[in-house]
Amino acid sequence: MVTTLKPQLGANPERARSHNKQLVLRAIRHVGTAGRAEIARASGLSTQAVSNIISDLLSEGLLVEQGVRSAGRGLPVQQYAIKPDGGYAFGVEVRPTAVFTALVDLVGTPLFTHRTPLGDARKATILDTVSAQLDDALAKTQVSKEALMGAGIVMPGPFGETGLTGADSELPGWNTGDPAESFASRLDLPVFVENDANAAAMAERMNGIARGLDDFAYLYFGQGLGLGLVQNGQAVQGAFGNAGEIGHITVIVQGRPVELESATSRLSVQAYLAGQGVTVTNMDDLTSLYSSENRHLFAWLDQAAQALSSALSIIENLFDPQTVILGGAMPDDLLDHIIARTALPERSVSNRPDRTHPRLMRGTSGRMTATLGAAALVLHQAFTPTIAEAR
């Protein structure tokens, strides 16, 4: 039972500078625009140090001057903001039948999104497709490869051979070798791999409803149901990268134990409605069923809300998050409906009077959520000081 120490790096001038640069970028990003003195106070560095770092970042093209603000006495503040075209991130979501790609700029604005159907789901096919899509994205947006900071890849978990393997939506050929490695060498970029729920959570944290939150959970409606976890500003991956597989835990619905995923997921609603003779194939079908107040859909929503209430109790009591966000491949209307119907457990550490956020919130939904989340992984990394992380 040999346990190796996780490699951590010592601080030297070079790594210290890189750390400080990311710290400054993060501070500016958080408030939008900021002046040197403000950043110095926030970071515990001297104004001089911040000045030097900012002049570096300006010449690297990561920051722009943003005019002067005179607030109170003293010399007016020269303000700085993130330069949108200071860098770009490529986001990829791999599903068994298609690959979704997105190119976003440094502030997270998508410049290009695309869906490419997959002929087959072999590893080589996927790598080829993603690589071609990257070239296409760069060409269409006139972005140079040098300006790309990395690629985020969202793949359906679980990774490796586990007790959940063999189920529904598998990708063959990925269980051997490190997927990140394969993509990194093929795309010649730094690569970050995550599951859909964590990626969606990070997207929400970078540019969505979870901006500034450091501890929250994200329930992601994908094919099944995934749990994204952010603790201390970092996505929780678990020892083998498979944290958040909430779909297979047992919850109580109408007094009977069922798998959470079988009560609340896209497959679940499709199966339920099919059992009632109603066919849905995409999110638009669900939206129109909802607006026509289809009683079968409403019945499903009710039991989904029940299942969710159990899940909420577990998530809240185990993680004590600032909030729980619901999002993914489910129309806004339905998410809102579920949120309204979900009983907030009383016996929960989250049931506290001094809350700043609702216990349950709706996040971004839609087909591209996870793909944009993949890109957000790259941005997150660019704005997170990491002196000790070995690469």
Partner DNA sequence: GCGTTAACTCAACTTTCTTGAGTGTTCAAG
Partner DNA sequence: CTTGAACACTCAAGAAAGTTGAGTTAACGC
Task: State the sign of the Cα–Cα–Cα–Cα dihedral 279, 260, 323, 44.
Answer: negative
Total binding residues for a copy of itself by CB under 8 A?
89
Q: Pick one of 61, 76, 238, 275: the residue that binds a copy of itself (CB under 8 A).
A: 238
For 33, half-sphere exposure in the C-beta direction (CA atoms, 13 angstrom radius) is 12
Give the separation between CA 243 and CA 254, rounded to whole angstroms.
Answer: 28
Name the token pair of 196.
């859909």
Candidates 35-43, 115-123, 245-253, 313-321 — which segment interacts with DNA by CB under 7 A?
35-43
187 membership: H or E segment, kind and range: helix 179-187
Map tokens 């003195």 to a residue.
37
Show contacts with a copy of itself in window 126-165 (CB under 8 A).
157-158, 160-164
Segment 5-64, which members bind a copy of itself (CB under 8 A)? 5-12, 15-17, 19-20, 23-24, 26-27, 30, 42-45, 49
Q: Which residues pair with 361 in a beta bridge?
A: 325
According to the binding rule CB under 7 A, does residue 35 interact with DNA?
yes
97 part of the interface to DNA, by CB under 7 A = no
Is 349 a binder of DNA (CB under 7 A)? Answer: no
DSSP state of 389: B
User: What is the amino acid identity at position 93?
Assistant: E
Which lies closer to DNA via its Cβ, residue 68 or residue 299?
68
238 binds DNA (CB under 7 A): no
Residue 37 binds DNA, judged by CB under 7 A:
yes
Whose Cβ is closer to DNA: residue 45's or residue 199's? 45
Distance of closest approach, residue 66 Cβ to DNA, in angstroms: 11
Of residues 241-300, which lie at the interface with a copy of itself (CB under 8 A)? 241-246, 248-252, 255, 257
Q: Is 352 in the site for a copy of itself (CB under 8 A)?
A: yes
Q: How far is the CB of 130 from a copy of itself (least distance, A)?
A: 25
- The answer for residues whose C-beta is within 8 angstroms of residue 4's C-beta and 6 or more apart is none
Token pair recorded at residue 177: 């070798």
Q: Kindly tell me the sign of the dihedral angle through the C-alpha atoms of 168, 171, 176, 182.
A: negative
Quick one: which of 5, 6, 8, 13 contacts DNA (CB under 7 A)?
13
| 213: amino acid identity, one letter | L
Q: Which residue of 72, 119, 212, 277 would you call a contact of a copy of itself, by CB under 8 A?
A: 212
276 touches DNA by CB under 7 A? no
Q: Taking CB under 7 A as the rule, does residue 7 contact DNA?
A: no
* Separation in Å, CA 29 to CA 50, 153, 209, 297: 15, 23, 15, 42
Among positions 51, 169, 303, 386, the unique one binding DNA when judged by CB under 7 A:
51
Q: In what order do the strands lie in the sheet with 33-34?
A: 33-34, 77-82, 63-69
